[in-house]
Structure 1
Amino acid sequence: MLRLAEKADVVLEGFRPGVMERLGLGPEAMLARNPGLIYGRMTGFGQDGPLAGRAGHDITYLAYCGVLHAIGHADSRPVPPLNLVADYGGGAMMLVSGLLASLFQRSRTGRGEVVDAAMVEGASMLAAPLHAFTAAGLWSENRGANLLDSGAPFYDTYETSDGRHIAVGCLEPQFFAEFARLLPLDDHFVSGQYDKTLWPPMRAAIADRVRQKSRDDWDLLFAQTDACVAPVLSLHEAKQHPHNRARNAFVIAGTLERPAPAPRFSGSQPTPATKPADSDLAPSTVLARFGFSKNEIDDLVKSGLFDR
């Protein structure tokens, strides 16, 4: 591992704090061999602190950082947003951002560093605007009582006549006016869009109207408008949507159709993922790329290390 680190740009580890150090593979040991190495560490709670050694999952970290409390309707319990916020957003994407920033810094200084990515802190960082809104008196800690958490009737989902749903997100007055015209909705709701005393009857009126048509009928009505209304699609339906098809937003990888890489870059085009050849993944091939001699590789293979 130390030999591999000498020629690596980045090392990633996702163990609990202290494990890599006990193996003799902590940042100090690896950076001594390669001062330009970027050492990325992913944990739930970070490398220190009272909870550092604790196990957890996305829902755990969301609970500790206050985000979970904010998600859900007013008359219901908190709802975990799959594992998108702490695992993928606050964890993986924050770690990637840190690695890229460190690589950019290394291009100027030649020095590597350790990136300590804690999912609880990454998820909290994603919620920074909510802390700002709260400090400004613009956000209530009561769940489902705010503009973006289903509190506003013009930013929520509604059931249609066929038991499916549409998503309504017409925050701006001009978009809400377009929504109200097509629904239709009484004019006094348009002039009083942000009057919270009108929100309960406004919600009831919207819900009553939406239940009169199917999801796809509403989609057809709002499709060419700026009313910010969308059909709530299943994962399968999203792959078939004309916009996603036109953008090649999903690609075939073997027998799996999955989201295409994002974001897009002008210097390259997204291509279907292909499985690397077994020979490309063989330990001998990987070790050779890192400068190990044939005799060294043979000895490692004979030791049975790669049979485990």
Structure 2
Amino acid sequence: MRSSAQRPLSGIRVVDLTRLAPGPYGTMLLCDLGAEVIVAGGGRAGPPVSTFARGKTFITLDLKSSEGRDALQRLVSTADVLIEGFRPGVADRLGADYAAMSAINPRLIYCSLTGYGQSGPRAQDAGHDINYLAYTGVLGSMGPTDGPPALPLNVIADMAGGGMVAAIGILAALHERSRTGLGQHIDAAMVDGCLSLIAMHFAVWGTEAMPGRGDGLIAGNAPFYRCYTCADGGHVAVGSLEPQFFQALWTTLELGDLPDHMDRRTWPDIEARLDAAFRSQTREHWTAVFEGKQACVTPVLTPHEVWQEPQIQTRIDPASGEFSVPAIPRFSRTPVAAGPTDMRDQSVEVLSSLGLDDDLIAKASPAHERGQTIGLGWPPVFNG
């Protein structure tokens, strides 16, 4: 059991039954904010992603056994939040549904995080980030006009529309509980999160601002809002959308008379001239040239290069490690921190603190898993 005194969520206990990425990402945010997060694994659940394991405590419970279910109930009686990511109906069969858990602890905030939500014709469908993006119009609006849609990794549906939205819902429910004293059920669906994230673009779809996929002011084909290749094969990102930024871009490159960059007829010439200019020198050259110019031109960094950037180092302690980034805002009074990663199975320690004796612990938690280091769920292991 880790102490998180004086952090914003100090004293909040979260029981995490989720796997893969969305739920663990959301509970990592809560953990960074000071919540105590106990991850209860077991059964056919895959190993957790180590990136999202920091600060958490891991135990193993066999929820198909009466002892395992009893242990979960004992744990839930001490908790403020439970989050699960099963398909609708699975938690019911395990005796871990909201009705059962809230009967034990009426103050419990119970969050169900799924792809399509708890109701509707697709509620039982399997899916991944790519499917939720496809189903909500996000994927259909991204990528080049002359090719298939482009995948933005799994950061939109899984992380932002899933884990982050679930964390926001949990925080809101905790605040509401402070007034009423009652918990409630949160139905967090990744498709809902995606629809919220793309709301601004729905409004302009089919207009001059965004006529179609890969076409529009910020879709990637406008010459003042795209990436360019440099002489060394590196790239720069140009976001000179507003007039003052475009003027700074154009004058810094010394390209002559300033064109009307909002007139689509000028786009081919602007693109050709910018492309030729950026190809003439290296990425590092252009990084130095645009330093302080307020033209919204930045180098496109690889993940390994990010940690050497002075701006990043002012926000994140380089000594904290590559993945130990507190992924939440900074607070003026209350500290936040990425806790240490300890993926040992601590079932005995946690369950004994709840009053279970050795015999019950042995029946509730598979002996062959207790005390072991939890395996890594990412990257996956490929055969062949």
With the length of structure 2 as denominator, give the TM-score of the two structures: 0.73
Task: State whether structure 2 residue 250 is matched by structure 1 residue 186.
Answer: no
What is the distance in 2 between the residues matched to 1:56 and 1:238? 31
- What residue is the counterpart of 2:184 in the other structure? 113
- Note if 1:226 corresponds to 2:290: no
**Local SS of the residue matching 2:203:** helix
Measure the CA separation in 1 of the matches of 2:301 and 2:343.
36
Query: Is the Cα–Cα contact under 8 Å of residues 91 and 97 in structure 2 kept in the other structure?
Result: yes
Q: C-alpha separation between the residues in 2 aligned to 1:20 and 1:249?
A: 40
Instruction: Check conservation: 2:247, 2:258, Cα contact below 8 A.
Output: no
Partner residue in 2 for 1:263: 329
Question: Structure 2: how far apart are the matches of 1:187 and 1:51?
Answer: 55
Q: Is the 8 A contact 2:205 2:212 kept in 1?
A: no
The letter of the residue matching 1:233 is L
| Letter of the structure 2 residue corresponding to residue 14 of structure 1 | G
Quote the residue 1:244 is aligned against: 312
Letter in 1 for 2:93: R
Letter aligned with residue 128 of structure 2: H
Task: In structure 2, give the amino acid aligned to 1:247.
Answer: R
- Trace 1:130-169 onto structure 2 (pairs within 5 A): 130-134=201-205, 137=207, 139-169=209-239
Per the alignment, residue 263 of structure 2 pairs with 195
Please show how residues 33-112 of structure 1 align to structure 2 within 5 Å: 33-112=104-183
Q: What is the one-letter code of the residue matched to 1:166?
A: V
Partners of 1:269 and 1:13 in 2: CA distance: 28
2:97 aligned partner: 26
Give the Cα–Cα distance (whole angstroms) in 1 for the partners of residues 280 and 235 of structure 2. Answer: 12
What is aligned with 2:41?
A: none
Asked whether the equivalents of residues 251 and 272 of structure 1 are also in contact (C-alpha less than 8 Å), the reply is no
Task: Name whichever structure is richer in helix by fraction.
Answer: 1
* Counterparts of 1:95 and 1:138, CA distance in 2: 34
In 1, Cα distance between equivalents of 2:241 and 2:209: 16
Q: Which amino acid aligns with 1:230?
A: T
Structure number with greater CO (CA < 8 Å, separation at least 6) is: 2
Deviation digits for residues 109-151 of structure 1 (CA, Å, limit 9, x no counterpart): 111111111111111110111122238x454351121111113
> Aligned residue for 2:36?
none
Q: Secondary structure at the match of 2:304?
A: helix
Partners of 1:272 and 1:31 in 2: how far apart?
A: 30
Q: How many residues align?
A: 297
Match of 2:243 in 1: 173
Unaligned runs of 5+ in 2: 1-71, 370-384
Contact 2:351 2:361 in 1 (8 A): no
Q: Give the Å deviation of 1:230.
A: 0.2
What is the root-mean-square deviation in Å for CA atoms of aligned residues? 2.0
Residues 4-61 of structure 1, C-alpha deviations (whole Å, 9 max, x = no match): 2222100010111100011121111111111111101111111121111111111111
User: Aligned AA for 2:235?
Assistant: H
Is contact 1:5–1:30 with CA below 8 Å preserved after alignment?
yes
SS at match of 1:187: coil
Asked if 2 retains the 8 angstrom alpha-carbon contact of 1:70 and 1:141, the reply is: no
Q: CA deviation at 1:66?
A: 0.4
Partners of 1:125 and 1:54 in 2: CA distance:
21
Q: For the structure 1 residues 251 and 264, does the alpha-carbon distance in structure 2 shift closer, same or farther, using more than 3 Å as the test? A: farther
Q: Any conservation in 2 of the 1:161–1:213 contact (CA below 8 Å)? A: yes
- CA deviation vs aligned residue, 1:90-123 (integer Å, no higher than 9, x gap): 0000000111111111111111111111111111
CA distance in 2 between counterparts of 1:95 and 1:257 reads 22
SS at match of 1:42: strand
Partner Cα separation in structure 2 for residue 167 and residue 139 of structure 1: 20
Q: CA deviation at 1:268?
A: 3.9
The 1-side partners of 2:323 and 2:105 are apart by 40
SS in 2 for 1:186: coil
Q: Within 1, Cα distance between the matches of 2:85 and 2:231?
A: 47
Letter in 1 for 2:271: R
Distance of aligned partners of 1:271 and 1:95 in 2 relative to their CA distance in 1, 3 Å threshold: closer
Distance in 1 (alpha carbons) for counterparts of 2:339 and 2:124: 37
Residues 221 and 57 of structure 1, relative CA distance in 2, 3 Å threshold: same
